[in-house]
Chain A
Amino acid sequence: MVGKLLVRGMLAGLVAGALAFVFGKLFGEPSIGNAIGFEEAHASEPEGPELVSRAVQSGLGLAVAVIVFGIAIGGIYALVFALAHGRIGTTTAGASAVSLGVLGFCVVYLVPFLKYPANPPAVGEPDTIGQRTGDYFGMMLASIVFAVLAVVAYRALWQRLGGYPAGLLAGLGYVVLVAVCAALMPGVDEVPKAFPADTLWNFRVAAIGTQAVLWLVLALVFAPLAKRVLQAAPERPLAAVRQA
């Protein structure tokens, strides 16, 4: 059953990645193009020969990157679904799938983005790439760990308080932990002085949109597929599972 869920998660991720690519191509590429124009106009030394043409980067390269990312996220999402369904208080496969999609988008993407937002080309010092990559993944890891702790706390508090207060407290705990963590982690201030503000804004909105499309489509495509997998293999009592 877990294998079936995994395959369906990866398929849903493929669809989600394809649609996220279309969104990114339409709404993200114009600001990437502007940013590269700025970069070339302000370059102190001429760029070396192009390894990959702009046409490939903004077409096939973007498609492969977003779709492979979608498939990988879809697979991990399906495995987390297999763990979470029946353990987080949701009563249907669809509710579990959509809850995890929204949670995944917020915890894995949106919260790290709020501290370390996506940057277009020309923004960011090449010398600090190691530091910025470490900080970004560190923030992402902290967000995921705090979210897991919040879910554990939610399950523990459920019996004493009921679902709604337990969820509220756990959510508040997550927000406090993640805010303290963000305040303690180093900031980044590397936007060139003359960089057009509207290009930066449009790029970042498009970046959020691309990930939002990816996670939302993933959850909505996965939900009915997961429902069918769970219905086709009705849970046997635990004793029967042990014997099998």
Chain B
Amino acid sequence: MATHSVPATPAALPAIPIRQVAPWLIFAGVILLLAIYFISSEQGALAMFPGMSVHEFVHDGRHLLGFPCH
């Protein structure tokens, strides 16, 4: 009954094998999440470095991007 126009699965296109994506996802993912941590939370709820200069520098961006700032 199936018509030729309806693909049997969502995988209508060749996908990139997961084994190719996984190493990038792990290594680049960690570094990019670290960047987001510094913009969103460093010297707020948590702190890797003492002081408030990172917090104060990204202050307006942190508010406007929607992260709890202080």
Contact = CB atoms under 8 A, between A and B. Distances in A.
Interface of A: 1-3, 6, 24, 28-29, 32, 50-52, 56-58, 61-62, 64-66, 68-69, 71-73, 75-76, 79, 82-83, 85-91, 109, 112-113, 116-121, 124, 126, 129-130, 132-134, 136, 154-155, 158-159, 162-163, 203, 206-207, 210-211, 235, 238, 241
Given A85-B15, A207-B64, A238-B17, A51 B52 contact: yes
A2 B45 CA distance: 34
B25, B58, B60, B63 — which one has the most chain A CB atoms within 10 A of its CB? B60
Nearest to A23: B64
B50 interface: no
A154 B52 CA distance: 45
Interface of B: 6-18, 20-21, 24-25, 28-29, 32-33, 35-36, 38-41, 44-46, 51-53, 56-70
A21 to B, nearest CB: 8
Given A1-B20, A79-B21, A155 B62 contact: no
27 contacts: A1-B16, A24-B61, A52-B57, A57-B60, A58-B60, A61-B56, A64-B61, A65-B57, A69-B35, A71-B32, A72-B35, A76-B29, A79-B21, A83-B25, A87-B10, A112-B66, A118-B65, A119-B63, A120-B63, A124-B69, A124-B70, A129-B69, A132-B45, A133-B44, A154-B10, A207-B63, A207-B66
